[in-house]
Amino acid sequence: MRHSSFGVLGFLVLALAGPVNAQDKRPIQTEDMFDMRSVGAPVVSPDGAWIAYTVGRTSLEDERSYTRIYMSPVEGGDAVGLTVEGKSAGSPGWSPDGRYFTFTASRDEGENQVWALDRRGGEGFALTDIEQGISGYRWSPDGTRLLLTIRDAEEKDEDKKENAPPDPWVIDRLQFKRDNVGYLTGDRRTHLYVFELESWRTPPTDDW
């Protein structure tokens, strides 16, 4: 039986919102923003039993926002945190055979990479190691490849003097700015790459 990701997501939003009594109604305050959660990016597992999704929040103590990925049974039940509390992760996904759960994250001050968790157990591990990081990914239907979106790396000026004034931005394109990227300076573009997974994937074994 197939389930709609957005239908299940609606129930998750209601569950996070919780009941509100009439006597508790009051004008919203600025501090209330830090108690709110945003739920998004729902994706159902290939067997239709689980749904993974992101929950975003803002930490008043740390003065920053981050997202964590959770997994819940489609038929209802407790949510399970799949990624580390306090460190952002996004783009949840499943391998076509359902064995691996994947997501994007940056760790140890590195760039955004694709990470994987074996559902049979074990620690998460990075699938990619791209110098400038990745913008997004998709699994191939047969589970042997990933399609990656990667933006051109920034040019490095080895001869630039320390504390020198920044160069002026010259923008001569119609689309001059993009959300989560900023001003589109220079000739940096986003390209599609095919990433072969045979280099890391090991054959199934029953010795566990």
pLDDT band at 9 (very low <50, low <70, confident <90, very high): low
Tens digit of each residue's pLDDT (9 = 90 or more) over 24-62: 788 888 777 778 888 999 999 999 999 999 999 887 777
Q: Which amino acid is at 61?
A: E
Which single residue is written with the structure tokens 């159902």? 44
Whole-number Å distance between alpha carbons of 165 and 14:
51
Contacts 24+ apart (CB under 8 A), 29-32: 31/60
Whole-number Å distance between alpha carbons of 140 and 198:
13
Joined together, the tokens standing for residue 48 give 């239709």
pLDDT band at 180 (very low <50, low <70, confident <90, very high): low
Whole-number Å distance between alpha carbons of 8 and 15:
11
Position 12 scores a pLDDT of 57
Position 26 scores a pLDDT of 84
> Which range scores top for mean pLDDT: 116-120, 137-141, 185-189?
137-141
Q: Determine the average pLDDT of the residues in 94-107.
A: 93
DSSP 14-64: HHHH----GGG-----GGGGGG--EEEEEEE-TTSSEEEEEEEEEETTTTE
pLDDT band at 121 (very low <50, low <70, confident <90, very high): confident
Joined together, the tokens standing for residue 79 give 């949510």
Asked if 32 and 20 touch (Cβ cutoff 8 Å), the reply is: no
pTM over 0.85: no
Whole-number Å distance between alpha carbons of 205 and 194:
27
Sign of torsion, CA 13 54 139 45? negative
Q: Is the pLDDT of residue 89 over 80?
A: yes
φ, ψ of residue 13 to 5 degrees: the values are: -65, -45
Q: Is the pLDDT of residue 147 over 60?
A: yes
DSSP secondary structure code for residue 127 in this structure: S
Position 186 scores a pLDDT of 66
Sign of torsion, CA 14 17 19 23? negative
Whole-number Å distance between alpha carbons of 179 and 194:
25
φ, ψ of residue 123 to 5 degrees: the values are: -80, 155
